[in-house]
Amino acid sequence: MKYQLSDADRVWAEETYEKIREKISAECDRVGDRIPYIAEDGVYKEDKAETDIVWWTNGFWPGILWQMYHAEGKETFRKAAEGVEEKLDKAFETYTGLHHDVGFMWLHSAAASYRITKNERSRARALHAAHLLAGRYNPRGKFLRSWNRDRSGWVIVDSMMNIPLLYWARDEIQDPRFEFVAMDHADTLMKYTVREDGSCNHIIVLDPVTGELLETPGGQGYESGSSWSRGQAWAIYGFALSFLHTGKKEYLDTAKKVAHYFIAQTDLTGGVALVDFRAPKEPVYWDSTAGVCAACGLLEIASHVPEVEKEFYTNAALRILKATDERFCNWDPAYDSIVQMGSGSYGTEHDRHVPIIYGDYFFIEAVLRLLDKDILIW
């Protein structure tokens, strides 16, 4: 086994996997190849294929389905995932609205499909997305611009989770350009996003001509200088993945640095994450999705560190996952979504304390990792 678990932890993981299997099987029967985002009153009412085909989270449902297909071999999972992938072709046609999150969209759909089925059409789609992402590269500032509109120098830490699409393209067509772009970007974020204490900026604004750091807006956190928890999670997992794909030790060291900060903060709140670790004590806002994403990153770190360090990161991930299970999970198969109490940002109400699709994805991936049933989608 990749992770050394106690008997009690293994039992928890196995029992949780059985609940996941039952829950996602029931959801797949109801949802099929629609594209869910936030469950309302236990129902995925909105279909992003109809309302916003370029929305950044549109890959997470097929990501769940491919993880479950890899673990179970159940054809309904594969067929639903392939259906979403085909619908995402409309996003390519639309083009306007696509940005740095094409990694989230096509790593979990087309690239995952190709890894498992070797479908050449899926390979072409994933390569198309990789070229779109690489095309956002600013060679003066050495970064991939985030978002669109008048934000040519804006970069967000979330982008670290999208550059694995470039590493995949590097390997797939044996073209080092994709790695050069990805590593330039990771180096820039390592320099300007991660602070000395291990906390992170969500947004950095760079001069698009010189690459000079201009400002660090608060973004989805409380304010500039605060500590948006999901941004910390993106950094943990994102830098760990860049280490996986490049072997550059500074990336692993950075992932560990942010991880230590995140672990210390969540230990203060029983293993679950506040939306922002540096927001006022009241009101209390939670973001379950930050914790489960960080747990995946902690497990990735555990797979790379020396034996004497592995238990620390594995146990930290387990504490977060178990706390999330105990406090925030709904296991009723008739109720859409597993992980409740996710929050999109500190300042918005419509996506505060709601079940968000990527929370389920990261929780499921983490449990599958513990049991060696996962497939590397990143």
Residues serving a catalytic function are 101, 158
CA-wise closest residue to 299 among 211, 376, 222, 206: 376
DSSP alpha helices (H): ranges in 95-163? 102-106, 112-117, 120-134
User: For the segment 55-74, what is each residue's pLDDT rounded down to a tens digit?
Assistant: 999 999 999 999 999 999 99
CATH for 7-370 (1.50.10.10, 3.40.640.10, 1.10.3720.10, 3.40.50.620): 1.50.10.10
Q: For residues 220-226, give the mean pLDDT.
A: 96
User: For the segment 196-222, what is each residue's pLDDT rounded down to a tens digit?
Assistant: 999 999 999 999 999 999 999 999 999
pLDDT of 224 higher than 80 = yes
Q: Provide the pLDDT confidence category of residue 1 given band limits of 50, 70 and 90.
A: low
What pLDDT, on a 0 to 100 scale, did the predictor assign at position 155? 98
CA atoms within a 13 Å half-sphere pointing along the CA-CB vector of 235: 35
Q: Provide the pLDDT confidence category of residue 2 given band limits of 50, 70 and 90.
A: confident
User: For the segment 263-303, what is each residue's pLDDT rounded down to a tens digit?
Assistant: 999 999 999 999 999 999 999 999 999 999 999 999 999 99
Q: What phi-psi label fits residue 165: left (phi over 0), alpha (psi between -120 and 50 degrees) or beta?
A: alpha
Whole-angstrom distance, CA of residue 334 vs CA of residue 43: 9
Q: For residues 353-362, give the mean pLDDT.
A: 98
In sequence order, which residues have a C-beta less than 8 Å from that of residue 99 and are 6 or more positions away?
A: 56, 136, 145, 146, 147, 148
pLDDT of 53 higher than 80 = yes
Query: What are the sequence ranges of the domains in the chain?
Result: 7-370
Report the share of the chain in percent with pLDDT over 70.
100
Burial 302-335 (b: 16+ CB within 10 A, else e): bebbeeeebebbbbbbbbbbbbbbeebbeeeeeb
Report the share of the chain in percent with pLDDT over 90.
99
- Reduced to 3 states, what is the DSSP secondary structure of residue 71? helix
What pLDDT, on a 0 to 100 scale, did the predictor assign at position 43? 98
Asked if 311 and 3 count as a contact pair (C-beta separation under 8 A), the reply is no
Average pLDDT of the chain?
A: 98
User: For the segment 161-194, what is each residue's pLDDT rounded down to a tens digit?
Assistant: 999 999 999 999 999 999 999 999 999 999 999 9
CA atoms within a 13 Å half-sphere pointing along the CA-CB vector of 37: 18
